[in-house]
Every structure is written in structure tokens, then in C-alpha cells.
């Protein structure tokens, strides 16, 4: 599928394609088996500008609009969704939150390192007891003379063990979303412990962690916003667009692999692509992938025109994540038994896609957000 793109967008997409084919595709299976990407990929992503998209050049960013960001993430996720996730979190959730809400000092401190890939960020919202109900989080920040002491636990934190800065959401006021503030916590701080969660079904190349904050002292300059919940929700609106873009890439990768295999694999004396039932599988995959991309690009277009896009981001994330699971599952059907072993890429596409219907808001949460926007009735109260 193609729509009118500017020359700049096309060139950027071509750059991302080449980068993915050269630096990601040849290694993705090994990273998946080893449960870690080669860490030198992170500065390489920074060097090519993919960790600075949408960030001002003053802070080391590479500029570009939301569509540019989606084009790059689609290509990267075609190679490895785990790498897409590293970018979505460090750039999309953390660096962009600092760029939007940070003081000049906070921007100077963190953005050049994050955009260069010399440092990574993680987004510490989810807790063992609060996933969907993020506004009830229990991590607490207590005011001291010249700063804060933070105590609590976070779980399922992408980049958790690799991050240099954690965007930590902690309670500074009363119960509910209003009492939550956002802090930029250097992960080297005493009392900050991150433990990697091993044995994930997918996204195995990225480090997912459980984080404990045990009397972590930070200065007043660590406070990013006293309206931490709103900051988190705003970041997740864009985050959902980026997850959707990644799902489009994973779905496209699965479709391309299945197409190539169907033309090459022969049964009953002809390529299996000649069978109508295989063509039906492929056709469904192509339609789902293109529909997901169009919904995702609509979000980027709205955001680029400074129009509200939250509900559309929920729609795109809901559709694209479910589509990526279906498309990857169909790809396995086309591959038959070969789809069930990791010598071929399609099993990984399914395992990686599976988490996208869970994180950054489950499919059920997206439906309730869309329902709330449609009806004006809030299911969460
Ligand atoms: N932008 C800005 N402000 C927003 C907002 C948005 N998108 N959404 C809500 N707010 C504001 C509201 O206006 C409200 O402010 P006022 O009181 O001043 O009106 C305030 O925030 C509270 O909003 P809600 O009443 O909607 O709060 P809620 O508790 O009912 O929220 C929820 C319910 C929408 C389900 C929310 O908790 C939610 O999105 N849950 C899912 C959490 C999630 O996506 N977690 C992902 C974890 S991060 C992750 O996965 C990253 C990773 O590592 C991969």
C-alpha cells in the first residue's frame, strides 16, 4: 500500500528499510534466542537519527513529524518488534515527555544522551497491583527539605535494566489520578534496583524488568510534573500510535514471509499459492495490514495538524495489535510445520505481537476508551 508521501518521508523510509535489512534482520533470531539484542545497536539507532525523531535539533534530535516516526517504526518492527519497543519507550514515552514537560535544565541533562542512544529511558508506570487501573498506583514520593524520597515497586518495565533514567510515576497527594506526580530518576541512585524478567513469550530481545525503589532520594530538580497522570495519559496516546505502527510492520513482515513461502513451497505438484484457501489467508492478511496502516497514519496526520487524536490512537492500537496477532497466526498456517520452528520468522512475529494487545492499554481498555468517547459514559467510575 502506498499513499502520497513527501520525498523526505520516502528517503527516511528507505533509510529505515536499509538499516533494518542490514542491522536487524540478520540478527533477530539470535537476539530472540539469547533474550537480548546486541547493545551496540542502541548507539547505532541514535547515530542514524531514529532515537531523536520529533525532538528538536538543539537537544540532539533529528526532527520530523509523526508520520515520519510511524514510517521508521513500521520498518524497524518488520525486522524485530523488540527493537521497535526500545525506541517507542526511550524516545516516544520518555524523551518526548521530557521535551514536552521538562525544564530547560532537564532537557539539557537528558535529551542529548537519549537521542544519541548513549543513554536509555524507561517508563515506570505499571505496578504489581495496578496495570489497567494506573491511577491507583501505590508508589509514594515524600517531600524532604530539598527533594523527595521515593518508595515502591514497578513491574513489566521495558528497558528497565538498561535504562539510565526512569520516568517514575509516584503518589505525592491523595488517592486517584490527581495525586500522581512524575519524576526523572537516575537509575544509578542508591535504592534503585532493576531485575530482568526472563522467559517472556515474545519481545525477548528487549530487557523487561521489575523495579524496586527503596528510599530513593532525588532532588527537587527530578520533578517533571505535578500532573503526572495526565502526563502519562498524554504520552500513552502517542505511545499507542507507535505500538500500532510497530504492529503494521510486524504484520507486513509476516505477510511478506508467507507470500514468498507460498510461491516457493510446492504440494500436489504446484505452489501452495495456487490454492484458493491459501490465497484467502493471504488476502485476509493483506487487508488487515493495510487497514491497520491507514488507521495508524490517520493518528499521525491528526497529531501533525495539532488536532485531538486520543480516540483515534485507541482505535489504531486496538485494530493494529489484534490484526498483527491474526496476520502472524495466518502466516504460521501458510508455513505449516515450518512455521512452528524458529528457523523461520513467522513464529516470532506471533509471539512478539501477542503483548501488543496487552501493554500500553489492553484491547479491552481501548474499547472502553472508544466507548467513553462515543457515548460520553465513563465505564471506569
Ligand atoms: N491526555 C491528557 N489527560 C488525560 C488523558 C489524556 N489522554 N486521559 C485522561 N486524562 C486526564 C483526565 O482529563 C482527568 O483529568 P481531570 O480530572 O482534570 O478531568 C485525569 O486525567 C484522570 O482521567 P480519567 O478519569 O480518565 O482516569 P481513570 O483513572 O478513569 O483512567 C484509564 C482510566 C483510561 C483506564 C487509564 O487508567 C488507562 O489508560 N489505563 C491503561 C494504563 C496503560 O495503558 N498502561 C500502560 C503501561 S506503560 C507500558 O506498557 C509501557 C511499556 O513499558 C511498554
Q: List, run by run, the mean pLDDT of 10-residue segments along the chain (381 residues).
A: 85 98 98 97 98 97 97 98 98 98 98 98 98 97 97 98 98 96 98 97 98 98 98 97 98 98 98 98 98 98 98 98 98 97 95 98 98 97 90
The radius of gyration of the chain's CA atoms, rounded to the nearest angstrom, is 21
SS3 204: coil
Ligand 1, residue 93: give the atom nearest the CA. Answer: 51
CA distances from 376 to 133, 237, 313, 370, 373 (A): 19, 19, 18, 10, 6
Tell me how far apart the alpha carbons of residues 333 and 328 are, in angstroms, rounded to a whole number: 9
Ligand 1 contacts CB of residue 380 (under 6 A): yes
Ligand 1 contacts CB of residue 233 (under 6 A): yes
SS3 27: helix
Answer yes or no: are the C-beta atoms of 154 and 148 closer than 8 Å.
Answer: no
Ligand 1, residue 239: give the atom nearest the CA. Answer: 51
Pairing between strand 270-271 and 192-196?
Answer: unpaired
Answer yes or no: are the C-beta atoms of 24 and 79 closer than 8 Å.
Answer: yes
| Atom 21 of ligand 1, residue of closest alpha carbon | 230
Q: How many angstroms is it from 371 CA to the middle of ligand 1?
A: 15
- What pLDDT is stored for residue 129 in this prediction? 96
Clarify whether 14 is annotated catalytic. no
Q: How many angstroms is it from 134 CA to the middle of ligand 1?
A: 7
Q: How many angstroms is it from 265 CA to the middle of ligand 1?
A: 48
Angle at the Cα of 297 (from 157 to 44), degrees rounded to 5?
Answer: 50
Ligand 1 contacts CB of residue 175 (under 6 A): no
Pocket test for ligand 1, best of 229, 239, 371 (most atoms within 8 A of CB): 229
Exactly one of 35, 127, 322, 360 is catalytic; which is it? 360
According to DSSP, the residues that pair with 270 across neighbouring strands are 267
7-119 in CATH: which number? Answer: 1.10.540.10
Domain boundaries along the sequence of the chain? 7-119, 122-226, 230-375
Place of cell 540532539: 60
- What pLDDT is stored for residue 4 in this prediction? 79
Helix residue spans in 276-381 (DSSP H): 276-304, 310-335, 346-354, 363-375
Question: Of the candidates 323, 201, 330, which has an alpha carbon nearest to the alpha carbon of residue 261?
Answer: 330
User: Alpha carbon 148 to chain centroid distance?
Assistant: 29
Ligand 1 contacts CB of residue 49 (under 6 A): no
Q: How many angstroms is it from 326 CA to the middle of ligand 1?
A: 28
Question: Of the candidates 277, 251, 271, 249, which has an alpha carbon nearest to the alpha carbon of residue 346?
Answer: 251
| Range 230-375: architecture per CATH | Up-down Bundle (1.20)
Question: Of the candidates 124, 148, 121, which has an alpha carbon nearest to the alpha carbon of residue 134?
Answer: 124
Domains 7-119 and 122-226 belong to one CATH topology:
no
Superfamily of domain 122-226 in CATH is Butyryl-CoA Dehydrogenase, subunit A, domain 2 (2.40.110.10)
Tell me how far apart the alpha carbons of residues 305 and 301 are, in angstroms, rounded to a whole number: 6
- What pLDDT is stored for residue 1 in this prediction? 62
Pocket test for ligand 1, best of 233, 360, 369 (most atoms within 8 A of CB): 233
Q: How many angstroms is it from 103 CA to the middle of ligand 1?
A: 23
Ligand 1 contacts CB of residue 158 (under 6 A): yes
Q: Which three cell numbers stand for residue 345?
A: 520468522
Ligand 1, residue 369: give the atom nearest the CA. Answer: 34
Ligand 1 contacts CB of residue 363 (under 6 A): no
Pocket test for ligand 1, best of 230, 353, 372 (most atoms within 8 A of CB): 230
Tell me how far apart the alpha carbons of residues 56 and 298 are, in angstroms, rounded to a whole number: 23
CB atoms within 10 A of CB 304: 15
pTM: 0.97
| Atom 30 of ligand 1, residue of closest alpha carbon | 380
Residue-wise DSSP of 47-106: HTTTTSBTS-GGGT--B--HHHHHHHHHHHHHH-HHHHHHHIIIIIIIIHHHHHH--HHH
SS3 5: coil
Pocket test for ligand 1, best of 168, 176, 177 (most atoms within 8 A of CB): 177
Tell me how far apart the alpha carbons of residues 211 and 93 are, in angstroms, rounded to a whole number: 17
Q: List CB contacts of 150: < 8 A, sequence separation 6 or more.
A: 139, 140, 141, 142, 168, 170, 183, 185, 213, 215, 216, 218
Tell me how far apart the alpha carbons of residues 362 and 381 are, in angstroms, rounded to a whole number: 18
Amino acid at each position: 500500500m502506498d499513499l502520497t508521501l513527501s520525498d523526505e518521508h520516502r528517503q527516511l523510509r528507505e533509510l529505515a528499510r536499509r538499516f533494518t535489512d542490514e542491522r536487524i534482520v540478520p540478527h533477530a533470531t539470535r537476539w530472540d534466542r539469547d533474550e537480548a539484542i546486541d547493545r551496540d545497536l542502541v548507539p547505532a539507532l541514535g547515530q542514524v537519527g531514529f532515537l531523536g525523531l520529533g525532538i528538536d535539533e538543539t537537544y540532539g534530535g533529528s526532527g520530523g513529524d509523526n508520520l515520519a516516526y510511524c514510517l521508521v517504526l513500521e520498518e524497524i518492527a518488520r525486522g524485530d518488534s523488540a527493537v521497535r519497543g526500545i525506541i517507542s519507550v526511550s524516545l516516544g514515552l520518555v524523551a518526548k515527555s521530557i521535551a514536552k514537560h521538562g525544564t530547560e535544565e532537564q532537557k539539557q541533562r537528558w535529551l542529548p544522551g537519549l537521542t544519541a542512544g548513549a543513554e536509555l529511558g524507561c517508563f515506570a508506570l505499571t505496578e504489581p497491583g495496578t496495570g489497567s487501573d494506573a491511577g491507583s498506583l501505590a508508589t509514594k514520593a515524600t517531600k524532604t527539605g530539598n527533594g523527595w524520597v521515593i518508595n515502591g515497586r514497578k513491574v513489566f518495565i521495558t528497558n528497565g535494566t538498561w535504562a539510565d533514567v526512569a520516568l517514575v510515576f509516584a503518589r505525592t497527594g491523595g488517592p486517584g489520578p490527581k495525586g500522581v506526580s512524575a519524576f526523572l530518576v537516575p537509575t544509578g541512585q542508591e535504592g534503585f534496583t532493576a531485575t530482568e524478567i526472563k522467559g517472556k513469550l515474545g519481545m525477548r530481545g528487549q530487557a523487561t524488568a521489575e523495579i524496586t525503589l527503596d528510599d530513593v532520594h532525588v532532588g527537587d530538580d527530578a520533578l517533571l510534573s505535578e500532573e503526572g497522570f495526565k502526563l502519562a495519559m498524554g504520552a500513552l496516546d502517542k505511545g499507542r500510535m507507535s505500538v500500532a505502527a510497530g504492529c503494521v510492520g510486524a504484520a507486513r513482515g509476516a505477510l511478506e514471509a508467507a507470500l514468498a513461502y507460498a510461491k516457493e513451497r510446492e504440494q500436489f505438484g504446484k505452489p501452495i499459492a495456487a490454492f484458493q484457501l491459501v490465497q484467502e489467508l493471504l488476502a485476509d492478511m493483506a487487508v488487515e495490514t493495510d487497514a491497520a496502516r491507514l488507521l495508524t497514519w490517520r493518528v499521525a496526520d491528526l497529531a501533525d495538524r495539532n488536532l485531538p487524536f486520543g480516540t483515534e490512537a485507541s482505535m489504531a492500537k486496538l485494530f493494529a495489535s489484534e490484526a498483527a496477532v491474526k496476520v502472524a497466526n495466518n502466516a504460521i498456517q501458510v508455513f505449516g510445520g515450518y512455521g512452528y520452528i524458529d528457523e523461520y520468522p513467522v513464529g516470532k512475529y506471533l509471539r512478539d505481537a501477542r503483548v501488543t494487545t496487552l501493554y500500553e492499554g489492553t484491547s479491552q481498555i481501548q474499547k472502553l476508551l472508544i466507548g467513553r468517547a462515543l457515548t460520553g459514559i465513563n465505564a471506569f467510575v
